[in-house]
Chains A and B, each alone.
Chain A
Amino acid sequence: MQREDIVWQTAVEWVIRGHESLSPADMKELIDWLKEDPANQAAYEEASRLWLLTGLVPPSVPPSDN
């Protein structure tokens, strides 16, 4: 994998994991990673934004009853 791909995949993984609350240790790891490189921040923002958008699309199959 190229470096850019690794950065993107890492950003996506953080956004997916951020779905649940992160532990303090995970949060520190995320912040360290964001501080490492502006490219990491940019990828994280891009992934966050796409993630937000996907949450606004209605399901193609209606969810089953609760």
Chain B
Amino acid sequence: MIVEKQVELSDVFMAHRLQLRWAALKILGNPERAEDVVQDAYLKVCEAAAVFDIKQPLAYLFQMVRNLAIDHHRRAALEMNLFENEDEGLHVPSLMGTPEAIVISRQHLTLIAKAISELPERTRRAFELHRLEGQTHRVIAAELDISTSLVNILIHQALDHCRAAFQSA
């Protein structure tokens, strides 16, 4: 069954490769980096397919590519600014790995999914709306009928719990 799922998800990936690259390109604004992200996503998709039962493959692939592209963009912006500060003696190369260098293990994926599933319902919902659907604090606050500052607290608590889960593993 696991093998079947893997084949299926990578088939969906290949069938929508151009759209996925376009989604990455919109965030990164650079075709080469968009291609890097799509290739990285493919490797991570194969790992994820072995661990998760993915009910909406295409939505999941777009979620993954979007998040990897945002992550890549964030790191690239930080690195660029760090290089500009290099003459001030900051040790740039050691600071941040590129997303491609970050190997995602099945064990870690399992651990993080379990940690998220353990969150109180409202915390989990706020976190997923933010992290997986890319909603702003304001939209989440309206949907859950809470303040934006509470949204931020819940997102913090979610990540705190994930950290604790990793530390005790």
Residue B162 interfacial (CB < 8 Å): yes
Asked if residues B159 and A47 are in contact (CB atoms below 8 Å), the reply is: yes
Asked if residues A21 and B99 are in contact (CB atoms below 8 Å), the reply is: no
Asked if residues B104 and A53 are in contact (CB atoms below 8 Å), the reply is: yes
Asked if residues A16 and B63 are in contact (CB atoms below 8 Å), the reply is: no
Q: Which residues of B contact A9 (CB under 8 A)?
A: 156
Asked if residues B156 and A57 are in contact (CB atoms below 8 Å), the reply is: no
Q: Which residues of B contact A47 (CB under 8 A)?
A: 159, 163
B36 to chain A, nearest CB (A): 15
Asked if residues B131 and A54 are in contact (CB atoms below 8 Å), the reply is: yes
Asked if residues B77 and A57 are in contact (CB atoms below 8 Å), the reply is: no
Asked if residues A54 and B159 are in contact (CB atoms below 8 Å), the reply is: yes
Q: Which residues of A contact B156 (CB under 8 A)?
A: 9, 12-13, 16
Using A22-B77, A27-B77, A27-B81 as known contacts, say yes or no to A57 and B159 having CB atoms under 8 A apart.
no
A11 to chain B, nearest CB (A): 10
* Chain A proximity mask over B52-87: 1 for CB below 8 Å, otherwise 0: 111110011001100110110111011001100100
Asked if residues B166 and A50 are in contact (CB atoms below 8 Å), the reply is: yes
Q: Residues on A close to B: CB < 8 A?
A: 8-9, 12-13, 15-16, 18-19, 21-22, 27-28, 30-31, 34-35, 41, 45-63
Q: Residues on B close to A: CB < 8 A?
A: 44, 48, 52-56, 59-60, 63-64, 67-68, 70-71, 73-75, 77-78, 81-82, 85, 88, 90, 95-96, 99, 102, 104, 108-109, 112-113, 116-117, 124-125, 127-128, 130-133, 152, 155-156, 158-160, 162-163, 166
